[in-house]
């Protein structure tokens, strides 16, 4: 496209002509990029709008292989119960259950775990009727507390060993928190 | 007049850098794009995942069995759905279950709607075909916890004691309720 013919001139003056001819061709060479750009932008828009960059994340869970009754010291047991209306109750050992807001749960978990230095066993008992999202919210709070717990225990030279269990809510549990 | 015409003709915009960047972005988006799996395009429900604090752990792609608990958008009933990312394993697992195949009527599906007994059977066979298969529970946040509890019991019975809950990242400015 648009290449000037300098043939005759080149024959007459070889070296100079060659240089000049090359230069001219480069300058004049033009590729119409409009359709290319059109298509490229079209595809770009398509892929930008269809991709979701946020991939789902996961929360790992480990459960004991068998439902066996393990004898534990009552004083080292933190029971968390989620009532069917989503309210969370906690009690240490045989204490009376107390309602707790999710935002206070983190500091409670940190405080008690650091106080008992890895010996504390946390048992979570969600009611079968509570929405699953609520259970995950509570688990999430406990997971976040884990960071602080291991940090504080590390300061005392201890390695964090998590002791946590998910247990089904029994009738007795339900009765204990029913009227609160 | 002739002067104006000449100027117009000579107007050239160098599009090279523009094209460079465009193609760079295009390549990036094309390579990162992940398309809906066959199983997902067959399902009749959308899962509203529970939200959790941002975490770096991601769902593995390989040899994953996903148990979904979804709420049907039309009928509104809750059910378990089972799917596997490994196609050959999936064919083996489903192929070995005659009952399930009959109910499917020979259709090639990537996701099945199952009840607890079928789920138990499926998980057991999955564990036999490939013991290293990872399990993930992808449940709607609105379902009753009972559904998840029963499912965890089934997993426990099949010695699949390590699994994942699929969650969505909570926006950092939004604290938990």
At B120-141, the pLDDT tens digits run 999 999 999 998 999 999 999 8
Domains along chain A with CATH numbers? 7-50 (no CATH), 74-178 (3.30.420.270)
CA B65 to mean position of chain CA atoms: 10
Each residue of B15-68: pLDDT tens digit? 788 888 888 988 988 888 777 666 677 777 888 888 888 777 788 878 889 999
pLDDT of res. B147: 92
ipTM for the assembly: 0.76
* The pLDDT of residue A12: 45
Q: Do you know the residue count of chain B?
A: 177
A117: left (phi over 0), alpha (psi -120 to 50) or beta: left
Q: B167 and A61 in contact by Cβ < 8 A?
A: no
Q: B93 burial class (0-12, 13-18, 19+ CB within 10 angstroms)?
A: buried
**Domain coordinates in residue numbering, chain B:** 38-169
A132 → closest Cβ in B54, B148, B177: B148
- Strand-pair partners of B163: A61, B135
Find, in chain A, the residue whose alpha carbon is nearest to that of B56. A57
Question: Contact B57/A59, CB-based, under 8 Å?
Answer: yes
Distance of alpha carbon B104 from alpha carbon B91, whole angstroms: 13
Q: In this complex, which of B53, B167, B177 lies closest to A144 when CB atoms are compared? A: B53
A69 in reach of chain B (CB within 8 A): no
Task: Determine contact: A53 vs chain B, CB below 8 A.
Answer: yes
- Kindly give the confidence (pLDDT) of every residue in chain A, 180 residues in length, as a single tens digit, with 9 standing for 90 and above: 444 444 444 444 445 444 555 555 566 666 777 888 888 889 888 888 877 766 778 888 888 877 666 777 778 888 999 988 889 999 888 888 888 988 889 899 888 888 888 888 888 999 999 999 999 999 999 998 888 888 888 888 888 888 888 888 888 888 888 877
Calculate the alpha carbon distances from A56 to A46, B110, B136, B147, B170 in Å: 22, 20, 11, 21, 11
Q: Mean of the pLDDT values across residues B93-109?
A: 74
Instruction: Please name the residues between 110 and 149 in chain B that touch chain A, using a CB distance below 8 Å.
Output: 136, 138-149
Rounded Cα–Cα distance for residues A138 and A129 (Å): 15
Q: How many CB pairs under 8 A join A and B?
A: 156
* Chain-chain contact of B69 with A103 (C-beta, under 8 angstroms): no
Q: How far is A99 from chain B (nearest CA, A)?
A: 14
Chain A interface includes B37 (CB < 8 A): no
3-class secondary structure for chain A? CCCCCCHHHHHHCHHHHHHHHHHHHHHHCCCCCHHHHHHHHHHHHHHHHHCCCCCCEEEEEECCCCCCCCCCCHHHEEEEEECCCCCEEEEECCCCCEEECHHHHHHHHHHHHHHHCCCCEEEEEECCCCEHHHHHHHHHHHHHHHHHHHHHHHHCCCCCCCCEEECCCCHHHHHHHHCC
Distance from CA of B61 to the nearest CA of A (A): 11
Which residues, at least 6 apart from A151, have a Cβ–Cβ distance to it below 8 Å? none
Q: Pairing state of beta strands B134-139 and B64-71?
A: parallel
A131 touches B: beta carbon within 8 Å: yes
Q: How many residues does chain A have?
A: 180
> Chain B residues with CB inside 8 Å of A40's CB?
19, 22-23, 26
What contacts A70, CB < 8 A, 6 or more positions away?
none
By three-state DSSP, how is residue B46 classified? coil
- Model confidence at B6, pLDDT cuts 50, 70, 90, reads low
Q: Does B40 touch chain A (CB under 8 A)?
A: no
Contact B168 A54 (CB under 8 A): yes
């Amino acid at each position: 496209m648009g290449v000037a013919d300098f043939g005759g001139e080149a024959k007459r003056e070889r070296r100079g002509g060659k240089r000049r001819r090359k230069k001219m061709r480069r300058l004049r060479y033009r590729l119409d990029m409009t359709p290319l750009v059109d298509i490229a932008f079209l595809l770009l828009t398509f892929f930008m709008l269809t991709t979701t960059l946020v991939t789902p994340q996961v929360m790992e869970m480990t459960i004991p292989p068998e439902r066996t009754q393990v004898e534990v010291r009552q004083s080292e047991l933190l029971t968390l119960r989620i009532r069917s209306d989503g309210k969370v109750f906690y009690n240490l050992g045989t204490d009376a259950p107390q309602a707790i807001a999710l935002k206070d749960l983190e500091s409670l978990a940190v405080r008690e775990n650091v106080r008992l230095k890895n010996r504390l066993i946390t048992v979570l008992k969600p009611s079968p009727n509570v929405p699953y999202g609520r259970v995950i919210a509570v688990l999430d709070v406990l997971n976040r507390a884990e960071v602080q717990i291991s940090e504080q225990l590390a300061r005392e030279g201890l390695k964090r060993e998590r002791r946590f269990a998910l247990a089904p809510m029994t009738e007795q549990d339900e009765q204990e928190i029913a009227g609160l | 007049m002739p002067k104006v015409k000449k100027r117009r003709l000579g107007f050239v915009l160098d599009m090279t850098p523009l094209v460079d960047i465009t193609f760079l972005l295009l390549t990036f988006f094309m390579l990162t794009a992940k398309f809906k799996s066959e199983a997902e395009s067959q399902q009749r429900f959308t899962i509203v995942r529970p939200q959790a604090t941002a975490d770096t752990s991601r769902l593995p792609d390989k040899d994953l069995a996903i148990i979904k608990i979804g709420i049907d958008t039309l009928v509104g009933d809750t059910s378990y759905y089972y799917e596997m990312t490994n196609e050959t394993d999936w064919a083996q697992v489903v192929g070995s279950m005659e009952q399930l195949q009959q109910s499917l009527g020979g259709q090639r599906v990537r996701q099945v709607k199952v009840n607890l007994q079928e789920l138990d059977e499926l998980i057991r066979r999955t564990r036999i075909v490939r013991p290293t298969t990872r399990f993930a529970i992808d449940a709607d946040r609105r379902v009753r916890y009972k559904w998840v509890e029963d499912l965890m019991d089934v997993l426990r019975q099949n010695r699949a004691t390590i699994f994942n809950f699929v969650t969505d990242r909570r926006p950092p400015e939004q604290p938990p309720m």
